[in-house]
Amino acid sequence: MYESLMKVLTSYSLLSGFAIIGLTMWVSYWISNTFTKGRLHGSAIAILLGLLLSYIGGAYTGGTKGIVDIPLFAGVGLLGGAMLRDFAIVATGFGVSVEELKNAGFAGVLALFVGVGASFVSGVGVAMAFGYTDAVSLTTIGTGAVTYIVGPVTGAAIGASSQVMALSIAAGLVKAILVMVATPFIAPYIGLNNPRSAVIFGGLMGTSSGVAGGLAATDPKLVPYGCLTAAFYTALGCLLGPSLLFFIMRGLVG
Amino acid sequence: MIIYGVAFLAFCTLAGIFVGELLGKLIGVSANVGGVGIAMMLLIFLGSYLHKRGILDATSEKGVAFWSAIYIPIVVAMAAQQNVYGALSGGPMAIIAGIVAVAVSFALVPVLSRVGQKKNLTASTQLP
């Protein structure tokens, strides 16, 4: 019986994914209503539960894809993979107000540049504090703090060691996860409650998954505005990382 | 028909990601340049055009609305496959670098929100 059950769950993986995530959502909204009287959004709790499941999956299998590395949960991987994620993010754009976008246009573009710069400087500063002095390592770790894609892309282009690249990926992952977890709590303090600030938030944070998760947990109406600018962030980082940012670092530390 | 809406959404997404890939090639970066953003713009502008022409009716729009509504569960599924274990076992430097980057970026949101804001706000605060 066990084998038959496993066979159904793994061969109908997307459906298992719907069922598992549906159950997670139900549990989350129940926790939200019972223990926090709805003050902590059900979706925020669901994302936290998802991250917790991912930690358990990673610790249990030693893989890199969280819970999805356990065959029973492969459907969750399909449901939350890049294809359906992008499909759903684009769909949220349907209710977007063009006026709001125009209103935030310039600040959004500015936020992209400031965001890449600020994260890079933060990453470089911490790397220096931990004793790194060469331009290649500093740039790679700094760009890792931009996003976990920009780090390895830059590192590969300028010839960083694999250990430094791993560190830069880890820094980017911490950023993505922290944005998902912290955004609903920080949002009231930084005025993140309207489309304009969401556009700026997306440009400053940039990590697609972090912005997608963080805004979903804060206010789903803001999702398309943030994701729109965040879509350009990683590319901007990949463009600046191995070129301008690396040249600046080389000029500074030799 | 609902499939028209789903197909329209699929077309916009594919076209946007494709343009993003082409832009990446053009600039010479190994990343998709704004694919999702371009797809979203396409959906907004093409969608409102088709809606005005009466080609995309209310039933078809349900095909888009469904995927928009299923967004949060998809994000939860996405969260469940982040490499949380890898992030936390990356050591203190990686964790601190991530935390500092996020803290600085959060702090900049209110600063940039003021940039390009309607002039009357700044004008009234500057008066004695």
pLDDT in tens, B76-125: 898 888 888 887 887 888 889 999 999 999 998 898 888 766 544 444 44
Give domain status of residue A90, yes or no: no
Lowest mean pLDDT among A7-11, A183-187, A200-204, B32-36: B32-36
Same domain assignment for residues A110 and A63: no
Same domain assignment for residues A74 and A197: no
| CB-CB contact of A141 with A127 (8 Å) | yes
Percent of chain A with pLDDT over 90: 27
pLDDT at site B116? 64
For B16, the closest of A90, A201, A223 (CB atoms) is A90
Per-residue pLDDT reduced to its tens digit, A95-106: 777 777 777 888
- Take residue B19 and report the two structure tokens written for it: 């343009």
pLDDT at site B121? 47
Same domain assignment for residues A112 and A164: yes
The total number of structural domains in chain A stands at 2
Give domain status of residue A87, yes or no: no
Same domain assignment for residues A245 and A188: yes
Same domain assignment for residues A116 and A237: yes
Residue B13 has pLDDT above 90, yes or no: yes
CA-nearest residue to B6 within chain A is: A91
CA-nearest residue to B87 within chain A is: A170
Same domain assignment for residues A226 and A110: yes
Same domain assignment for residues A144 and A239: yes
**Contacts A232 to B, Cβ<8 Å:** 33-34, 37
pLDDT at site B118? 56
Work out the widest C-alpha separation in chain A, in whole angstroms: 66
Residue A88 has pLDDT above 50, yes or no: yes
Its domain, for residue A122, covers: 97-253
Same domain assignment for residues A111 and A217: yes
Same domain assignment for residues A76 and A141: no
Same domain assignment for residues A117 and A72: no
Same domain assignment for residues A75 and A172: no
Q: Can you tell me the ipTM of this complex?
A: 0.83
**Contacts B16 to A, Cβ<8 Å:** 90
**Contacts A53 to B, Cβ<8 Å:** 80
Domain boundary among A80, A105, A127: A80
| pTM of the full structure | 0.81
Give domain status of residue A16, yes or no: yes
Residue A40 has pLDDT above 60, yes or no: yes
